[in-house]
Structure formats: structure tokens, C-alpha cells
């Protein structure tokens, strides 16, 4: 006997956890098989590009933190690179190493957030606890360096806001933790921030990554959810505009840190992991290995920063804030500081595009200057927009439960998609 199954339409999100609260999918289902997925975005739209066109360049840096709020410093890096291109500013080498150090720490934080939430979406609930355990340590370091945990606002046109601190803050005694636990969590905080980050990299690669691999890599339940799901060939990934782990998971070894190096990436040693099959499992493995490579890059930066001191801001009166002692003693320095903070600086007429290897792919900033102290036009290239646009193709003829895995593998943050 043949049973006729009619197609029916349902809403998936925005309330569904896997839809991340700000995405709505209209699904056409045949039984539990997805025939069509119509992606509706725009629920988070904030007009960031227009807001940046109304602010001086320096004040616009803070808007970048609100885009992909899991990768704030990477966003800032692309913007300051574009402005520095227009100004023709040479950034001090120490500032460049600090930027790379913080970029890679942010990459690990981003991938940990992805791994924890992706695992949680598919039922591996313990992953969220393990990933946030490690992520908190990097947030502690970010807070010590920048003064903020979530929105650091640390990069500046011409360098970084301040040099690395000489002491890593320690946890204070509390009635909620024993003396033994206090000694354990403060063990790596006896030196400076570089010591703390080096200790983290060693533990993360040699111990914590082993836990992640033991939990998921060979787990037959996990593989049953992600192997062969959302397959995208190398040729199709290029046509769809994929970048980052989404592109490398399909076997394309394209990484801007290698192909179009910026800052000091051309002076560092690291590998670019690539997948073979282009499915959710390969993209998962690529991101796992990327975290290992990021820790390797961080250790190289730490070694260099220990041995080499120097300025962290360019000696350019257009963008540099005078030293505090000079402000107290000279009227010119006081006026210069006031001018930089309130009016900012004028950028020569022209246009520039700067792109960085963001944890999610190629994040680009296109600037047009008319010679004023704020950009005439700003256009941001968000990596997630191309990935979410391919959702219908990736999910076609998959089961409804596979849709959750496919959305998770894209590593979406709507702050930059709905910019």
C-alpha cells in the first residue's frame, strides 16, 4: 500500500536554541525530510555601518566589538589596518606581535564557544562546561591586558592602547572557595600575563585538547550526527563564497595569514589544517586543529615579546595621544590630547580594503575617505553572511535533526551578519 505524504510548512526559530534567537527559518518538510529552507535574517539589524559613518575613526573602533562579539579583537584588527593603509602609518613591531597574540587568543575563545554550543545543540552537554572552563582563563587574560572582558576596545590606529601588564591579577580569598582551591587557581598567576598565557597554551594543547578529542573525535554517537552531513565540495564552497574553516573543511587550503599575510604572520611558523570530505565532521576537525595551531602561534609571540621591548604606538602626532607628563606640563600637548579624543584625526581622501583571517573566515573592512575626520562610507564583509546564504543548499534532503548540526557547523554570530 502506498501512502501519500503531503509537504507541510513550519517555522524553525527564532525561539529555537539552534536558531540562535535572531534567525527564522521557514521549512518545507516532507515527513521529517527538509525539502526547502527559506532563511529570514534581519532580526538583529542595528545599522552599524551607518553609525560608523557618523563617528570619528577612533570612536568607531568600539562598534567593531559589537559585531561578532565572540571575536572582538579580530574585528578591530581589520578596521585599524584599513585606516592605517589610508594614513600610511607604520605600526611598531611590538604592537604587531601583541595584536597577533591577542588575535590568536581570541580565535581559541571563539572556537571554544563554537565547540561548546555545537556540542550542546547535538546532545553532548558536557562540552559546554569543559569549553567555558578553558575560555574563562583567556577572558581573565584579556581583562588583565585590555581592562574589559567582553568588549575590549584595545586596538588603536597606529598600535594598541597600552603595553602588556607586568603582573597577572590573582583571585582573592573568599568563603566560597577553599584555601587549596585558591592556591590551585592562582598557581599560574604568580608571574606576568605572558607567563600565564604560556602556561595556558601548554595545558591546553597537552591536556585539555586530549579531553576534547577523547570525548568527541571517536564517539560513534557524535559521528552519527555529523559525518556525511552538510557536504559541500571544494568547487562549490568557492562558488558560494565560503571562507575560513567552512572553506578549509572542504579541502581548500586558503588562509589569509598565509596567502595574504598581515602584521607579523609571515614571520611565524604554523600549519593550515584542511578537510577532505567537506562535511560537518571535517569542519569540526579543522577547528580543533586550528586551536592547536593558534596556541603554537601564541607561544612564538610570547617568546618574542619577552626578549624585545619597544613602543606600542606609532610616533605620529596625528593619531598618538601625548604622554601624561607632557599633558601636565605643556599646553600644546593638552590641546593635542583634547583634539584626538573629541575631533579625532582627518584621513586623506581615498579608499582602502583590509581583510584578516577571522575565526569564522575572511572579515573585511572597506573604507572610503573624503578627507574628513570620519569615514564617508564603511562596508563590512562578514564571513557568516555567505555561509548562512548556503543553508538551503546544505540542508536539502537532510532530516530535520540534521538542520541543527548544519546551523551549528556554520558558527554563526548575527552581530556581524545583521550589521
The 10s digit of each residue's pLDDT in 90-112 is 999 999 999 999 999 999 999 99
Average pLDDT, the chain: 90
Give me the percent of the chain exceeding a pLDDT of 90. 69
Q: pTM for this one?
A: 0.93
Is the alpha carbon torsion for 255, 259, 265, 269 positive or negative?
A: positive
- 382 near 243, Cβ under 8 Å? no
- pLDDT score, position 21: 74
Categorize the per-residue pLDDT at 159 as very low, low, confident or very high, splitting at 50, 70 and 90.
very high
3-state secondary structure 8-37: EEEEECCCCHHHCCCCEEEEEEECCEEEEE
174-221 pLDDT, tens per residue?
888 888 889 988 998 999 999 999 999 999 999 999 999 999 998 999
In this predicted model, which residue has the larger pLDDT, 154 or 330?
154
What are the structural domains of the chain?
A: 8-416 (1.10.645.10)
Give the CA radius of gyration of the chain: 23
Q: Which helix (H) or strand (E) holds 416?
A: helix 414-417
Report pLDDT for 338: 63
Amino acid at each position: 500500500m502506498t501512502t501519500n505524504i503531503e509537504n507541510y510548512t513550519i517555522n524553525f526559530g527564532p525561539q529555537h536554541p539552534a536558531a540562535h534567537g535572531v534567525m527564522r527559518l521557514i521549512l518545507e518538510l516532507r515527513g521529517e525530510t527538509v525539502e526547502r529552507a527559506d532563511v529570514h535574517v534581519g532580526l538583529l539589524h542595528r545599522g552599524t555601518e551607518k553609525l560608523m559613518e557618523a563617528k570619528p575613526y577612533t570612536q568607531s573602533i568600539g562598534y567593531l566589538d559589537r559585531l561578532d562579539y565572540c571575536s572582538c579583537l579580530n574585528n578591530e584588527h581589520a578596521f585599524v589596518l584599513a585606516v592605517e593603509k589610508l594614513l600610511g602609518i607604520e605600526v611598531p613591531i611590538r604592537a604587531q606581535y601583541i595584536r597577533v597574540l591577542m588575535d590568536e587568543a581570541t580565535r581559541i575563545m571563539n572556537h571554544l564557544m563554537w565547540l561548546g554550543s555545537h556540542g550542546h545543540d547535538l546532545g553532548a552537554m558536557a562540552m559546554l562546561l569543559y569549553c567555558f572552563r578553558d575560555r574563562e582563563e583567556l577572558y581573565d587574560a584579556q581583562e588583565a591586558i585590555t581592562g574589559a572582558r567582553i568588549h575590549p576596545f584595545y586596538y588603536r590606529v597606529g598600535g594598541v592602547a597600552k603595553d602588556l601588564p607586568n603582573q597577572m591579577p590573582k583571585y582573592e580569598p573568599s568563603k566560597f572557595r577553599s584555601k587549596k582551591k585558591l592556591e590551585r587557581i592562582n598557581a599560574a598567576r604568580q608571574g606576568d600575563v605572558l607567563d600565564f598565557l604560556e602556561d595556558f597554551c601548554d595545558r591546553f594543547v597537552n591536556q585539555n585538547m586530549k579531553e576534547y578529542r577523547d570525548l568527541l573525535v571517536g564517539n560513534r554517537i557524535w559521528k552519527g550526527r555529523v559525518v556525511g552531513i552538510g557536504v559541500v565540495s571544494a568547487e562549490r564552497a568557492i562558488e558560494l563564497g565560503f571562507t575560513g574553516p567552512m572553506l578549509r573543511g572542504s579541502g581548500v587550503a586558503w588562509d589569509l595569514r598565509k596567502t595574504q599575510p598581515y602584521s607579523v604572520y609571515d614571520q611565524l611558523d604554523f600549519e593550515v589544517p584542511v578537510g577532505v570530505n567537506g562535511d560537518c565532521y571535517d569542519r569540526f576537525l579543522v577547528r580543533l586543529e586550528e586551536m592547536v595551531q593558534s596556541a603554537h602561534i601564541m607561544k612564538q609571540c610570547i617568546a618574542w615579546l619577552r626578549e624585545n621591548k619597544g613602543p606600542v604606538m606609532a610616533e605620529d602626532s596625528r593619531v598618538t595621544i601625548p604622554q601624561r607628563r607632557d599633558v601636565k606640563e605643556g599646553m600644546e600637548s593638552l590641546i593635542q590630547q583634547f583634539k584626538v579624543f573629541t575631533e579625532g584625526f582627518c584621513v586623506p581622501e581615498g579608499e582602502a580594503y583590509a581583510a584578516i583571517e577571522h575565526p569564522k573566515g575572511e572579515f573585511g573592512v572597506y573604507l572610503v575617505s573624503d578627507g574628513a575626520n570620519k569615514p564617508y562610507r564603511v562596508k563590512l564583509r562578514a564571513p557568516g553572511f555567505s555561509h548562512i546564504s548556503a543553508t538551503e543548499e546544505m540542508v536539502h534532503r537532510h532530516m530535520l535533526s540534521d538542520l541543527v548540526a548544519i546551523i551549528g557547523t556554520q558558527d554563526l554570530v548575527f552581530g556581524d551578519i545583521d550589521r
